[in-house]
Amino acid sequence: MNLNLEKGQKLFLAIAVVVLLVGVAGLFVGIQYPALARHPYRYLVRLANEITGSFTGVGPTSKHNIRVRDAYPLHLKAGAKYGWAPLNNSSIAKLKKQKKLVFVNEDDGFYVSALTTSEPLLTLQAYNTLVEIGSRFRQATGSDNYFTVTSLTRTVEHQKRLSKVNRAATKGISSHSYGCSFDISYVRFNGERGSNPKLQRALEKIILDMRQKKRLLIIAETTSHCYHITVFNKQASL
């Protein structure tokens, strides 16, 4: 009888430990990787696509052709003027509830990468600009083509974590934390990772045209192989 009681207690204790560990793991994922916590299946599918796509090397020919570089302080200035105050976990939740930040999902011309250090959110102006880039990209290259968005809005907490593991990440406030910046990869087109000069040139032509019309700012980042873009109003004067 005592033997059975001991076995029952051990079983109960083991189940309690497992439940506790699962709960702690869930809490950790919810805090560190909110996109995974919200949509686990979709996130894992995207991550699997990126892992399989990463076997295709970027290669020495995967270089940007953009010769302009808008100074990062201009991106910060535009973010502060046309976005929201540097977002934290609390303020971003409030703005989502008030619908002052727009959810970004796949659209014609672009695909959203599995996000680990940013939220799929943008200001309405930035979102509309991204959708326009995607639409113009497909018009220029064909309806089956799309590019990949690799980063969107980062909270201050996101940025701190990223700066610890990525030396290229900005220390302190990032323009991503205002809600009107996003990154577009220039080595990921149509779900494949690698050089695609034709599609890359088409994308560059679109964003350079928008920059010339004073609708956005650009930094071509060589380390992360992406175009860092910050959106502001067409009439902006910086």
Contacts of 147 (CB under 8 A, 6+ apart): 109, 110, 111, 134, 137, 184, 185, 188, 189, 199, 203
Distance CA 139, CA 112 (A): 19
Distance CA 79, CA 73 (A): 10
Please give the share of the chain, as a percent, with pLDDT higher than 90. 45
pLDDT of res. 134? 96
pLDDT of res. 65? 83
| Position with higher pLDDT, 130 vs 193 | 130
pLDDT of res. 61? 56
Q: How far apart are the first and last CA of the chain?
A: 81
| 117 and 110 Cβ atoms separated by less than 8 Å | no
The confidence band for 13, taking pLDDT boundaries of 50, 70 and 90, is confident
The confidence band for 237, taking pLDDT boundaries of 50, 70 and 90, is very low
Q: What is the pTM of this model?
A: 0.73
- What is the per-residue pLDDT across 152-165, written as a single tens digit (0 to 9) for each? 998 887 666 655 54
Q: Where are the alpha helices (DSSP H) in the chain?
A: 2-32, 34-38, 40-53, 72-82, 89-97, 124-141, 156-165, 197-212
- Average pLDDT score over the chain: 80
The mean per-residue pLDDT over the stretch 184-210 comes to: 94
Q: What angle do CA 237, 214, 177 make, to 5 degrees?
A: 80
- What is the per-residue pLDDT across 93-141, written as a single tens digit (0 to 9) for each? 899 889 899 999 877 789 999 887 788 999 999 999 999 999 999 999 9
Residue among 102, 101, 103, 202 nearest 147 (CA): 202
Least confident of 36-45, 63-72, 208-217: 36-45
pLDDT of res. 118? 86
> Phi and psi at residue 68, in whole multiples of 5°?
-100, 150
